[in-house]
Structure 1
Amino acid sequence: MQSPHIPVLLQEVLKIFEDVDNGDFLDCTLGYGGHSKALLQAHEKLNLIACDKDLEALNFSKEFLKEFQNRINFKHMSFREILSNISTQNLRGILADIGVSSLQLDKNDRGFSLNSDFLDMRMDQNNTLSAKEVVNSYSKEALEQIFKDYGDLTPVASMLAQKIIIARSQKEITSAKDLYQIVGNTKLKGRNVPLALLVFQALRIEVNDELGELKQLLESIEKANLKNCKLAVISFHSLEDKIVKNTFKRWEKDCICDERAIKCECGKNHSIGKILTKKVISASKEEISYNSRSSCAKMRVFYFR
């Protein structure tokens, strides 16, 4: 049985967790099981907690990972909830791949791609908010803010929002294809990514509360008071990576006094671990050559001592 998704940075992930030989391993974003299968094959004494809010992906992976079923506990939920629903006592590794899977992008009825006949973009199809609702019901000001905050489209955010408002006043926007035609495929000066892709990214982040979920995951991990555990987070755009980078820096700091303080008064014992990736891990040229979607992947790793 083949997975429809190529896991990014697979060899790098295996290298990071090569010394995690036993205990529990949490895959926060199981997807189509690529990372988890490789880890289970490499570590015979490792038990997997497999979490995903996409029921279609979860059901696929139950079959894909069937040979390891006695070592897996499947959880259908958002990764923002997972730490409060499992025991963390024996947790030795955590992986969170925050990207959209290839199947989600390619499958027409999921409405993620520019050429889809649908306009959905929900990772969890039980959620009520879809891209169709955002595009057809949000105010001009709300759409403009989304494009600024999540698409880095400040110079053209107002224009894009107005285009959508005008188009939907004539006819409801029901497909990604229609939205693609409305937005157009030009590029901002100095940017290599087409406007349409940035608009779709912004809508996807809004629909799935991606940044909020990431922040809540990191907060729940911090509160879990983990010991002897590695955390690897793979992100795919700068907003996510910035959250991860800044959180890891804060976790590593011994002193949390105000920078204007003349001397330390906090005791300098607030660090909960160590950043293992002083330089972010990116895909190799070889990987990008056979999986172009890995070109944006960035992995950062933290160790809770």
Structure 2
Amino acid sequence: MQIIPHVPVLYAQVLEAFSDIENGVIIDCTMGYGGHSSMILEANPNIKLIAIDQDQTAIDFSTSRLEPYKERVEIKKGRFSTVIKEILKEHDIKEIRGVLADIGVSSLQLDQKERGFSFSSDNLDMRMDTDAQLSAAEVVNEYSQADLERILLEYGELRNYKKIASFIVSNRPFSSAKELSEALKHLMPTGKKIHPATLLMQAIRIEVNNELGELNSLLDTIEEAKFPNAKIAIISFHSLEDRMVKNSFVRWRESCICPKEAMRCTCSNDYSYGKILTKKPITAEDDELKANPRSRSAKLRVFQTDSKA
């Protein structure tokens, strides 16, 4: 019997977002351990699902988990920013009725200490794709102080990023996430409910996996594809990611693309991609927060494209 590792975040809200899709294809850009995928397939019995992941462990697990729906599932390995472009070449754009992306690391990846995501890990890895070249060890032990400052400020939003970067350079090499987080504990923010080194590890992980670049590429691909009558649902866990999604949705909604300083509209005022279905991001309810504290950072935004897109 297969042991299910965890329930995906905001699962009820995701199901609600796709509840009116009766046929066609839904793309799960971040399959992980098949939580959202299995629930979508169960709730939407006539749809087909294409699932993407770069983690071979997750693919092996989810291939087994999704076996009951094998006639309606296609699993592809790779970064979603690249694979979704391949999917669009293989399928009629009108077939795609939904796109889901759950941006971030999965609970099982966090819990597997050998993957190097955990504060108590005995190594420095953090690669979602274990075949990728760049690891956390290279970032921590080989990046210049200027590059470390950049990722600590941009991805970790740490105010004392210069001190942290200087400390890392002066005391490296570091061989494990445990050693790194312990050594830097005195420089980490205090008074929050999260582990003191959370923002530090988050910044390194985002750099290792190019998470913001991947999300930006996905948003660009969706915008260029002009899916007709499709739901776009994106879950983010970081303020920068959420801001990127929000800004893209706002831009997609606008009908006029003339410069703000223009005296009058000259663009035909017909550029709207659709409408935003979530004025504010959807967050976890109290029962989910109690069952899964990691859901506290999750934010879901949903966009509905026009039928004429």
Pick the TM interval, shorter chain.
over 0.9
Task: Answer whether contact 1:83 1:224 (CA < 8 A) is retained.
Answer: no
**Is 1:162–2:166 an aligned residue pair?**
yes
**Is 1:132–2:137 an aligned residue pair?**
yes
Q: Report the Cα offset of residue 30 of structure 1.
A: 0.2
Change (3 A) 1:108 1:190: closer
Task: Answer whether contact 1:50 1:73 (CA < 8 A) is retained.
Answer: yes
Q: Report the Cα offset of residue 17 of structure 1.
A: 0.7
In structure 1, the residue matched to 2:289 is: 288
In structure 1, the residue matched to 2:109 is: 104
SS of the residue corresponding to residue 275 of structure 2 reads strand
Task: Answer whether contact 2:164 2:187 (CA < 8 A) is retained.
Answer: no
Q: Report the Cα offset of residue 178 of structure 1.
A: 0.8
Query: Structure 1: how far apart are the matches of 2:193 and 2:262?
Result: 44
Query: Structure 1: how far apart are the matches of 2:81 and 2:69?
Result: 25
SS of the residue corresponding to residue 281 of structure 1 reads coil
Query: Structure 1: how far apart are the matches of 2:57 and 2:94?
Result: 30
Query: Structure 2: how far apart are the matches of 1:259 and 1:302?
Result: 24
SS of the residue corresponding to residue 51 of structure 1 reads strand
Unaligned 5+ segments in structure 2 are none
Change (3 A) 1:293 1:191: closer
Task: Answer whether contact 1:186 1:194 (CA < 8 A) is retained.
Answer: no
Q: TM-score, normalised by structure 1?
A: 0.96
In structure 2, the residue matched to 1:68 is: 69
AA matched with 1:163: F
Query: Structure 2: how far apart are the matches of 1:186 and 1:227?
Result: 49
Query: Structure 1: how far apart are the matches of 2:302 and 2:32?
Result: 20
Query: Structure 1: how far apart are the matches of 2:23 and 2:208?
Result: 37
Q: Report the Cα offset of residue 185 of structure 1.
A: 5.6
**Is 1:237–2:238 an aligned residue pair?**
yes
AA matched with 2:185: G
Task: Answer whether contact 2:257 2:271 (CA < 8 A) is retained.
Answer: yes
SS of the residue corresponding to residue 80 of structure 2 reads coil
Query: Structure 2: how far apart are the matches of 1:271 and 1:161?
Result: 44
Query: Structure 2: how far apart are the matches of 1:287 and 1:254?
Result: 37
Query: Structure 1: how far apart are the matches of 2:65 and 2:175?
Result: 34
Equivalent residue runs for 1:1-305 within 5 Å: 1-86=2-87, 87=91, 88-153=93-158, 155-168=159-172, 172-184=173-185, 187-188=188-189, 193-305=194-306
SS of the residue corresponding to residue 20 of structure 1 reads coil
Q: Report the Cα offset of residue 193 of structure 1.
A: 4.4
AA matched with 1:162: S
Query: Structure 2: how far apart are the matches of 1:57 and 1:289?
Result: 25
Q: Report the Cα offset of residue 21 of structure 1.
A: 1.4
SS of the residue corresponding to residue 100 of structure 2 reads strand
Kindly provide the CA deviation profile for residues 246-304 of structure 1, in whole angstroms up to 9, marking residues without a partner as x. Answer: 00000000111111111111111010111111111000011100000000000000111
Query: Structure 1: how far apart are the matches of 2:18 and 2:150?
Result: 39
Kindly provide the CA deviation profile for residues 5-58 of structure 1, in whole angstroms up to 9, marking residues without a partner as x. Answer: 220001111111111111111000000001111111111111110100111101
Q: Report the Cα offset of residue 194 of structure 1.
A: 4.7
Change (3 A) 1:99 1:11: same
Query: Structure 1: how far apart are the matches of 2:175 and 2:190?
Result: 30
Kindly provide the CA deviation profile for residues 219-268 of structure 1, in whole angstroms up to 9, marking residues without a partner as x. Answer: 11111121011010000010000000000000000111111111111111
Count, aligned residues? 301
Q: Report the Cα offset of residue 190 of structure 1.
A: 7.5
AA matched with 2:166: Q
SS of the residue corresponding to residue 94 of structure 2 reads coil
SS of the residue corresponding to residue 206 of structure 1 reads helix
Task: Answer whether contact 1:144 1:158 (CA < 8 A) is retained.
Answer: yes
Percent of aligned positions with the same letter in both sequences? 48
